[in-house]
Structure 1
Amino acid sequence: MSQQHESGVSQSNVNPFLQPNHNNVPSGISNKPQLSQPKIEVGECSSGGISVQELQLSVQIDDDELSDWESAKSFIEKDQNALTVDITSSSKTVLHVATLCCQWGFVLKLLELLSPESVVGKSDRGNTVLHYVAQGGCLKTANALIQKNAGLLQMVNSDGDLPLFVSIISESNKEMVWYLSLITQVTVPPRILRHLILSGCHDIALYYVQKDPKLALARDGNGNSLLYWLATNPSCFLSGSNLGFFERLIYKCEYPFLE
């Protein structure tokens, strides 16, 4: 299920990092990782867990973005306020707009010029640039933002949602959900667990339950628990799916805890 950006910007030329990644991430989670050396792609590590270092954090800067940047740089050099001033009627800065347009290389260039304090600006709906990246954007951009100002992780929008929650609700990039889950200090509310279950992210839901076993029976505003959502979604289980022989073998390897 995709989520439309509030800007209404067309996403016809979508960066490949916005595409859902269906690679399985093992359910065992390592200790809180360091963010200083995120280099390699998603893959199974020797301990059976995953860390930030194993997430894909590379990004290509194409010629069009570089051309756009050179033009913008000339303008910024004439007026440094252009970096932080609102440029839309909805209180978005150039950083917000570049993110919504998936100009990841452009965003990284902007971050080189911005101070830690200047990246926390919010739109009229309370979204920071990390909220927009969390909707399914580039992991390297998310990492660069957090390196610039880690406080972005704990900032909520007008709906009271952290960037982590936005990534879960948008259901567009599982790697982003894993990444933010590993570095955000938060107790996940039952309604967020519901989104994880219904979007098929059972391993991430299990990660949170392992951290806080009480979540297994915690109830949302409608009085339903994680076990209820599992029980009412038979496709979550092998017995409720019409899988072939090889698909069943893959299922056993990927989701042994759901059999």
Structure 2
Amino acid sequence: MMAKVMTVEHDQFTVLDVAVMFAQDQLVENLIECFPPEYKDFSSALYNAAKGGRIRMVMALVDKVDAEPESVALAFSAAVSGAPMQKEVISYLARRTTSAPHYSSLTTLIKTGHLDIALYLAHRYAELATSKDRENRSPLEYLVKMNYFLSGAKLNFWERFIYKCIPLCLVDTSFDNSNDMKMTRAKRFKTLIWNFGTIPAPFIKRIGESKLRHECSIEFANLALTKMKTHMETPELLQLLTLHIVLHATCSGIYEIVKLCIKHFPELMWDKNFTKELIKEVVNGRHVELFRLVNAHNTIPYLIDNIWTVEGLLV
């Protein structure tokens, strides 16, 4: 079983590797039981199982590599990049990893809408919330770009009614490391109720998942802004907010982001030029709630009146 039975280019594979590649869940579980206790080379099998999004294989293999935490981290990255829609695999590996994932994994989680997993990792590894990619973009910028907030949702009357009626506790898959088996069983029971209850009406499940994303987006943005206060210099931070986050959020009508930024950094509204640009974007976009918010925090007397007249926005 440990012998290399297949060679592709310069890579050699065991029977276990071949079984993983051909998605033979039961065979993989049986093979794992046959390996001697001293055998520990399961890293490549775990990586391929995670990349293929095979939850049974991953659960069977991950305990075998616990002594090698980097193997679990690599498997998590493989699942995020190779099987981004297999949330069960990604969430399981996110719980089991013991090191901060790569920044690209966090941005992929945001792009694919797995905000609860991204939030869990950001809470667990504080540096993730303020990290930047090669193009100097922060996770908050990606969050604004994707616009998972309620203010950006296009819900009709009935969808809004259903949205308000769905209890978030049924949808919420928040992570915890509790060893309390009763709590674990209760969460599984709630998940079963939600999954089976929404089979006849998949649109209810879609609305519920949107509600979870909305709540996680706000919490992630609040966490990121809080971490930015302690990890970034004020001039650099204000420049990031004014140029890449607040104005972009205003153009998209994302009320929640603008409100949080002004709450955390009221000094944003002390800059006359920025405030002028902000009000222009609000008025041009006809964002009523944003106009009320910005008007309530405007610290420059008569600025709005001047913009309405000088910029010709009264027409």
* 12, 17, 22: which one aligns with 1:101: 22
Indicate whether 1:85 and 2:4 are aligned.
yes
Aligned to 2:88: 175
Q: Is the 8 A contact 2:113 2:213 kept in 1?
A: no
Does the C-alpha gap of structure 1 residues 245 and 202 become closer, same or farther in structure 2, counting only changes over 3 Å? farther
1:169 Cα deviation after fit: 1.3
Name the SS for the 1:133 alignment partner. helix
Structure 1 unmatched ranges of 5 or more = 1-81, 123-127
* 111, 132, 152: which one aligns with 1:198: 111
Name the SS for the 1:200 alignment partner. coil
Name the structure where helix makes up a greater proportion of residues.
2
Aligned to 1:65: none
Which string of whole-angstrom CA distances, capped at 9 and with x for unpartnered residues, describes residues 54-83 of structure 1?
Answer: xxxxxxxxxxxxxxxxxxxxxxxxxxxx44
Name the SS for the 2:107 alignment partner. helix
Once residues 154 and 139 of structure 2 are traced to their aligned partners in structure 1, the CA distance between those partners, rounded to angstroms, is 23
What amino acid maps onto 2:116 in structure 1?
D
Does 203-212 or 83-92 show the bigger shift? 83-92
What amino acid maps onto 1:252 in structure 2?
K
What amino acid maps onto 1:204 in structure 2?
I
Once residues 183 and 144 of structure 1 are traced to their aligned partners in structure 2, the CA distance between those partners, rounded to angstroms, is 13
Does the C-alpha gap of structure 1 residues 92 and 244 become closer, same or farther in structure 2, counting only changes over 3 Å? farther
Count of residue correspondences:
168
* 140, 147, 154: which one aligns with 1:242: 154
Aligned to 1:212: 125
1:247 Cα deviation after fit: 4.3
Name the SS for the 1:88 alignment partner. strand
Q: Is the 8 A contact 2:85 2:112 kept in 1?
A: no
Structure 2 unmatched ranges of 5 or more = 164-207, 219-315
Aligned to 2:177: none
Once residues 245 and 176 of structure 1 are traced to their aligned partners in structure 2, the CA distance between those partners, rounded to angstroms, is 35
Does the C-alpha gap of structure 1 residues 118 and 196 become closer, same or farther in structure 2, counting only changes over 3 Å? same
1:212 Cα deviation after fit: 2.9
Once residues 152 and 94 of structure 1 are traced to their aligned partners in structure 2, the CA distance between those partners, rounded to angstroms, is 22
Structural mapping, 1:126-145, within 5 Å: 128-145=44-61
Once residues 257 and 168 of structure 1 are traced to their aligned partners in structure 2, the CA distance between those partners, rounded to angstroms, is 19
Does the C-alpha gap of structure 1 residues 233 and 96 become closer, same or farther in structure 2, counting only changes over 3 Å? same
Name the SS for the 2:6 alignment partner. coil
**Structure of higher CA gyration radius:** 2
Q: CA RMSD in A?
A: 2.4
Structural mapping, 1:54-93, within 5 Å: 82-89=1-8, 90-93=11-14
Provide the identity percentage. Answer: 30
What amino acid maps onto 1:166 in structure 2?
A
Higher relative contact order (CA 8 A, sep 6+): 1
Aligned to 1:231: 144
Name the SS for the 1:187 alignment partner. coil
Aligned to 2:214: 255
Once residues 95 and 42 of structure 2 are traced to their aligned partners in structure 1, the CA distance between those partners, rounded to angstroms, is 24
Q: Is the 8 A contact 1:237 1:258 kept in 2?
A: yes
Once residues 201 and 187 of structure 1 are traced to their aligned partners in structure 2, the CA distance between those partners, rounded to angstroms, is 17
